[in-house]
Amino acid sequence: MPVFTEESSPEMLQRAAGLKKPPLPRVSSPAPVNVDRTADGAKHEVVIIGTGPAGIMLSLMLARYGVSCLPVEKVTSMIIPGQADGLQPRTLEVLRTLGLSEEVFSQGFPNHRMAFWNPGGPGEPRIVRTAVTDDVTVPTRYPHKVLLAAGRVVNILERQMNKYGNEVERGTEFLKYEFVGGEFPVRVFLRDVVTGREYSVFTKYLVGADGAHSKVREQMGVKLQGESTDYIWGVVDAVLKTDFPDIRKRCAIHSDAASIMAIPREMIEDQQYMTRLYTQLEDVVDATSTVANAASEQEAKARARERRQRVTLPRILDQVKKTMAPYDVEVVKVDWWAAYQIGQRVATKFAVQDSEGADRVFIMGDACHTHSPKAGQGMNVSMMDAFNLGWKLAFELLGLAPKGSLLPTYEFERRDIAEQLIAFDNAFASKFSQKMGDDGLSHEDFFKVFHTGCGFTSGCGIEYEQSSLVEKTLVKALDNSLNPDFGLLRSGRRLINIPVRRFSDDAPCEFHDVLPASGHYVVLVLLPKLFKDPRVQQQLTYLTSTLPQKFARGILEPFIIHPLRSNDDVEWNMFPKALKEDWEWNLLGDVSGQGYETFGVDRDAGVVAVLRPDGVLGGVWDIDELAPKRRVESYLAANLSARGTKSLL
Amino acid sequence: MPVFTEESSPEMLQRAAGLKKPPLPRVSSPAPVNVDRTADGAKHEVVIIGTGPAGIMLSLMLARYGVSCLPVEKVTSMIIPGQADGLQPRTLEVLRTLGLSEEVFSQGFPNHRMAFWNPGGPGEPRIVRTAVTDDVTVPTRYPHKVLLAAGRVVNILERQMNKYGNEVERGTEFLKYEFVGGEFPVRVFLRDVVTGREYSVFTKYLVGADGAHSKVREQMGVKLQGESTDYIWGVVDAVLKTDFPDIRKRCAIHSDAASIMAIPREMIEDQQYMTRLYTQLEDVVDATSTVANAASEQEAKARARERRQRVTLPRILDQVKKTMAPYDVEVVKVDWWAAYQIGQRVATKFAVQDSEGADRVFIMGDACHTHSPKAGQGMNVSMMDAFNLGWKLAFELLGLAPKGSLLPTYEFERRDIAEQLIAFDNAFASKFSQKMGDDGLSHEDFFKVFHTGCGFTSGCGIEYEQSSLVEKTLVKALDNSLNPDFGLLRSGRRLINIPVRRFSDDAPCEFHDVLPASGHYVVLVLLPKLFKDPRVQQQLTYLTSTLPQKFARGILEPFIIHPLRSNDDVEWNMFPKALKEDWEWNLLGDVSGQGYETFGVDRDAGVVAVLRPDGVLGGVWDIDELAPKRRVESYLAANLSARGTKSLL
Task: List beta partners, residue A146.
Answer: A87, A110
C-alpha Rg value of chain A to the nearest Å: 27
In this prediction, residue A79 has a pLDDT band, given cuts at 50, 70 and 90, of low
- Helix, strand, or coil (residue A533): coil
Please tell me which of the candidates B106, B249, B373 has its beta carbon nearest to residue A99: B106
Residue-wise pLDDT for A442-452, tens only, equals: 888 877 877 77
Q: Region A174-192: what's the mean pLDDT?
A: 97
**pLDDT exceeds cutoff 60 at B16:** no
Amino acid letter for position A278: Y
Question: Inter-chain contact A338–B83, Cβ cutoff 8 Å?
Answer: no
Q: CA-CA distance, B134 to B114, in Å (whole number)? A: 6
- Judge whether A487 and A518 are in contact, CB under 8 Å: no
Contact between A372 and B568 using a beta-carbon 8 Å cutoff: no
For residue A14, list chain B residues with Cβ-Cβ distance below 8 A.
79
Q: What is the pLDDT of residue A426?
A: 83
pLDDT in the model for residue B290: 62
| CB-based contacts of A504, cutoff 8 Å, min separation 6 | A580, A584, A585, A587, B247, B248
What percent of chain B has pLDDT above 70?
94
Query: Could you tell me the CA-to-CA distances from B457 to B235, B422, B450 in Å, in that order?
Result: 20, 11, 9
- Which domains does chain A show, CATH number per domain? 43-82+149-224+345-427 (3.50.50.60), 106-148+227-341 (3.30.9.10), 466-639 (3.40.30.20)
Q: Nearest-CA neighbor of B536 among B609, B624, B599, B635?
A: B624
Minimal CA–CA distance to A565: which of A609, A501, A504, A625?
Answer: A501
Chain A nearest-CA distance from B183, in A, is 33
pLDDT (0 to 100) of residue B649: 42
Distance from CA of A202 to the nearest CA of B (A): 32
Does the N-terminal peptide bond of residue B548 adopt cis geometry, omega within 30 degrees of 0?
Answer: no
What would the pLDDT profile of B554-591 be if each residue is shown by its tens digit? 899 999 999 999 999 999 999 999 999 999 999 999 99
SS3 B575: coil
For A225-234, A495-504, A594-603, which range has the lowest pLDDT when averaged over its residues? A225-234
Model confidence at A438: pLDDT above 80: no
Residue B300 C-alpha, separation from nearest chain A C-alpha, in angstroms: 16
The DSSP symbol for B645 reads P
- Per-residue pLDDT at B271: 74
Instruction: Answer whether B336 sits within 8 Å of A9, measured CB to CB.
Output: yes
The answer to whether residues B135 and B248 touch, using CB atoms and an 8 Å cutoff, is no
Average pLDDT over every residue of B83-103 = 92
List chain A residues with CB under 8 Å of B333: 9
Q: Which residue of chain A is at minimal alpha-carbon distance from B12?
A: A335
Question: Which of A77-86, A492-501, B8-17, B626-635 shows the lowest per-residue confidence on average (mean pLDDT)?
Answer: B8-17
pLDDT at A401: 96
From chain A, pick out residues whose CB is under 8 angstroms from the CB of B110: 507
Which residue of chain A has the CA closest to B114? A505
With 70 as the cut, is the pLDDT of residue B162 above it? Answer: yes
Q: Which residues of B touch A507 (CB under 8 A)?
A: 110-113, 144
Partner-chain contact B99 A106, CB within 8 Å: yes
* Whether pLDDT at A241 is above 90: yes
Question: CA B343 to CA B449: how far, in whole Å?
Answer: 19
Q: How confident is the model at residue A14 (pLDDT cuts 50, 70, 90)?
A: low
Identify the pLDDT of residue A647. Answer: 47
Please state which of the ranges A104-108, A300-304, B78-82, B134-138 shows the lowest mean pLDDT. Answer: B78-82
- A584·B269 Cβ contact <8 A: no
pLDDT computed for residue B648 by the predictor: 44
Check A1 against B243: CB less than 8 A apart. no
- CB contacts of B78 in chain A (<8 Å) are 16
> Is the entire prediction scored with pTM above 0.90?
yes
CA distance A395 to A45: 12
Percentage of chain A surpassing pLDDT 70? 94
Distances (CA, A) of B45 to A74, A613, B157, B429, B639: 47, 54, 21, 40, 21
Measured torsion, CA atoms of residues B137, B140, B145, B150, in degrees rounded to the nearest 10: -140
Which residues have a Cβ under 8 Å from the Cβ of B379 and sit 6 or more positions away? B53, B82, B84, B85, B86, B87, B91, B150, B153
CB B313 within 8 A of CB B337: yes
Q: How much is the average pLDDT of A581-606?
A: 96
Comparing alpha-carbon positions, the chain B residue that sits nearest to A333 is: B9
> Which residue of chain B comes nearest to A144, CA vs CA?
B507
Convert the pLDDT of each residue in A378-390 to its tens digit.
899 999 999 999 9
pLDDT(B385) > 90: yes
Q: What is the mean pLDDT of residues A356-373?
A: 93
pLDDT value of residue A644 = 81
Chain A closest-CA separation from residue B371 CA (Å): 5
Instruction: Tell me which amino acid residue B2 is.
Output: P
**How far apart are the C-alpha atoms of B601 and B624, rounded to whole Å?**
14
What is the pLDDT at residue A303?
75
More confident residue, A302 or A497: A497
Beta bridge pairs of residue A129: A117
Looking at residue B647, its pLDDT comes to 47
CB pairs under 8 A between A and B: 210
Q: How many CB atoms lie within 10 A of CB A566?
A: 10
